[in-house]
Structure 1
Amino acid sequence: MTALRLVGFADLTSAELDRWRALRAGDPVLDSAYFDPAFAAAVHASGVDVTVAVDARGDDLSVLMACQRDGSVLRPVGWPGADFQGPVLAPGAVFDPRDLLVDGVRSFEFDHWLPPCPSVEPWIESRAVSPYVEVSGGLDGYLSRASKSGKDNIGQARRRTARAERDLGPVTFRAQSSDAEALAWLIDRKREQYAATGARDHLASADRRALLALLLDTHEPGCEGIMSTLHFGDTLVAAHFGIRSQRVLHWWFPVYDPAFASFAPGWILLRELAIVAPELGLERIDLGRGDDEYKRRARTGEVEVAAGVVTASAVRRVGHTARRRAVTAAKSSRLAPLLRRAVHARRRRRAEAGRA
């Protein structure tokens, strides 16, 4: 095992941040912006204390894992919104997640673990696919790889764009917008969507909303906030906020005005992004974990991510595993629709009570 210690993000030197970038650049598996120090910096600036597990300081740094701590529980930086998680390692360096149980940390929880790591395998409780869309070569390149369903939906998006042009006015797509009002619109519509569906509100806390604003002002090669907008005439009907690292864009917070649902604005957004991908230098759009229908239809490939918990306490691990299995069993049971409606109703009541 490697002796790790926890260091505050603000205590890292500029040379250590450069070392972080260099190590990340050397591993093609870590091409997502989630692994860049600029993402951790934005999370830290949003009001969340980011701590970094390191094996050494300065040029000797060969193992690091950016995290955030909640009492005795350590989780990957950006939790619960980080769609890819894992350590940044020098070639040949060894990582054992048990080494994170230091300085009073009793457990390390992860839910989107990406890089292959034999020492993590014993702690994995579940796995899921995370789809992506290959857009090298633009729209034609995507269509050459897409499934029949993906091609059909892109064709429908083209026809719906023409219908919107005819009925509602010019359709305007902006691949990169820095409009603060558009970001506020996106956040409001996304929270309304969470409330309407009963889904967990990932933008309920002020620090997560602040994170999006901070990332929109982040323009580093390894991490840049990207907001795209879609207007019908003068009306903003859809937007997407994601993070980019050079050739890879992570599809993070898409939303549209339900009043325009018949136009499937999300597919129009995705089509427009594929069209401008060569101009933007994009080759892949990561859609994130989930079995949403549009992800199944749009994807051209997928990677696997894992969830689990690392702890020295057998009792804590058994309890955590039991809770996760209970949730999984409930989701796959015949009572799942009823249970889902009950959970959604409860969350809607909480949201309404919070607004009262």
Structure 2
Amino acid sequence: MHVSIVHPRDLAKSDIERWRVLQEADPAFDSPFLSPEFTIIVGELQEQVRVAVLQDGQETVGFLPFERYPMGIGKPVAAGLTDAQGLVHVKDLELDPRELIRACGLGVFEFDHLVSGQPLLVGRHTRHPSPIIDLRDGYDSYVETVRQNSGKTYRSTAYKARKLQRDAGPLQHDYATTDRAALRTLLGWKTDQYRRTGRTDRFARPWIVELVERLLATDTEHFGGVFDVLRVDGQPVAGHFGLRTATTLAGWFPAYDTTYAKYSPGLIHHLAMAEKAAAAGIEVIDLGRGEKEYKEKLKNGEYEVMEGRVARPSAGASIHWALRVPVRKARGTVLASPILRSTADRALKTFGRLRTSLSSLAS
């Protein structure tokens, strides 16, 4: 096995075509986060992005996109943003994961959304469910499943959609729009949500805003950014920006105007998005790992992703273990307990309210 390390901009056209062939050959890789286009666009903004190109003789058998940091610490591309990570490879590929990360110049490779069936899995790792909206039998079949499993939610959402129209005006759903003004509105809602719930505001980092804008401008047969928005009387009230392959839409940044919170605009929007996505050829909407009430109400299936690391003896791996592993274990304990998770969520929201209040006073 020969491993070459290149920056995404240096991938040959034949490499990109081969990557796409391998991706389309296995349903496990059908995520836009594993598409070559995603890595290339992130690489335009983040110099630390690299791709390991694996060759067995004359055949290219795999591509591992990653980011390389000091002390030999490696992470997936756009770590912290992506819901699918891993090596895109030929079927039944056999390799030594530690030798692979050595060839990448890494002492450790950490992941938290590794897709199933990866030869990278070694040692201890944690499995997490990743809920999906499965549209392979069509939107009508999906809605029937929601009615059976979450009948109260479906009836309530339909009622609130009618009430919203009576109170505020007609509903309009624009799927795959390139309305940049509406996109900026969505990102503003998302920033408010991050702050309100005590989370880190991802859009405080300019490169992530630039990434979203570049992805919005990308639309090919195999990959593209998808922005859709729900409007009431012409005004945006909810929306979502995500990425797609030909058949999978990855849920990424959903948000809504809290002025309309009593109408559950997020649920109204997601059902409208699923209908339009199905009509556009999308078979699966990946809602992403995470315990969220709306995901439980909307899902009709789930995938599985892994959290853990591959490490070999090195100073960087030791430092990484000391800094990251205890924190990850503690977080896992909290997330596994409904009581602890609820307590932590309340604490974050309290912090968010305090932060918002202090920010208002300062301005």
| TM-score > 0.5, shorter chain as reference | yes
Q: State the AA in 2 paired with 1:221.
A: E
* CA-CA distance at 1:20 after TM superposition: 0.9
Alignment of 1:205-224 (within 5 A): 205-224=205-224
Judged with a 3 Å threshold, the aligned counterparts in structure 2 of structure 1 residues 49 and 220 are, in CA distance, closer, same or farther, namely farther
- Matched residue, 2:87: 87
**Separation (CA, whole Å) in 2 of partners of 1:339 and 1:230:** 31
Q: State the AA in 2 paired with 1:200.
A: T
- Asked if structure 2 preserves the Cα contact closer than 8 Å seen for 1:38 and 1:220, the reply is no
- Asked if structure 2 preserves the Cα contact closer than 8 Å seen for 1:309 and 1:317, the reply is no
- Asked if structure 2 preserves the Cα contact closer than 8 Å seen for 1:20 and 1:88, the reply is yes
Alignment of 1:35-114 (within 5 A): 35-56=34-55, 60-71=59-70, 72-98=72-98, 99-102=100-103, 104-114=105-115
Structure 1, unpaired ranges of 5+:
none
Q: State the AA in 2 paired with 1:100.
A: I
- Matched residue, 2:16: 17
* CA-CA distance at 1:341 after TM superposition: 4.8
**3-state DSSP class of the match of 2:260?**
helix
Report how many residues are paired: 354
**Separation (CA, whole Å) in 2 of partners of 1:334 and 1:200:** 23
**Separation (CA, whole Å) in 1 of partners of 2:52 and 2:295:** 34
Judged with a 3 Å threshold, the aligned counterparts in structure 2 of structure 1 residues 326 and 41 are, in CA distance, closer, same or farther, namely same
* CA-CA distance at 1:345 after TM superposition: 5.5
Judged with a 3 Å threshold, the aligned counterparts in structure 2 of structure 1 residues 269 and 73 are, in CA distance, closer, same or farther, namely same
1:321-344 Cα offsets, whole Å, 9 max, x none, are 322112333453966655555555
* CA-CA distance at 1:59 after TM superposition: 5.9
**Separation (CA, whole Å) in 1 of partners of 2:158 and 2:348:** 37
* CA-CA distance at 1:70 after TM superposition: 2.2
**Separation (CA, whole Å) in 2 of partners of 1:58 and 1:35:** 24
Question: TM-score with structure 2 length normalisation?
Answer: 0.88
Please provide the CA RMSD for this pair.
Answer: 2.7
Structure 2, unpaired ranges of 5+:
none
- Matched residue, 1:322: 326
* CA-CA distance at 1:138 after TM superposition: 4.1
1:298-335 Cα offsets, whole Å, 9 max, x none, are 11111111111222237446533322112333453966
Question: TM-score with structure 1 length normalisation?
Answer: 0.90
- Asked if structure 2 preserves the Cα contact closer than 8 Å seen for 1:139 and 1:271, the reply is no
- Asked if structure 1 preserves the Cα contact closer than 8 Å seen for 2:120 and 2:310, the reply is no
**Which deviates further from its counterpart, 26-35 or 322-331?**
322-331
Percent identical residues? 30
Alignment of 1:86-235 (within 5 A): 86-98=86-98, 99-102=100-103, 104-117=105-118, 119-124=120-125, 126-146=126-146, 148-235=148-235
Moved over 4 A (4+): 333-353
Judged with a 3 Å threshold, the aligned counterparts in structure 2 of structure 1 residues 58 and 158 are, in CA distance, closer, same or farther, namely farther
* CA-CA distance at 1:103 after TM superposition: 5.3
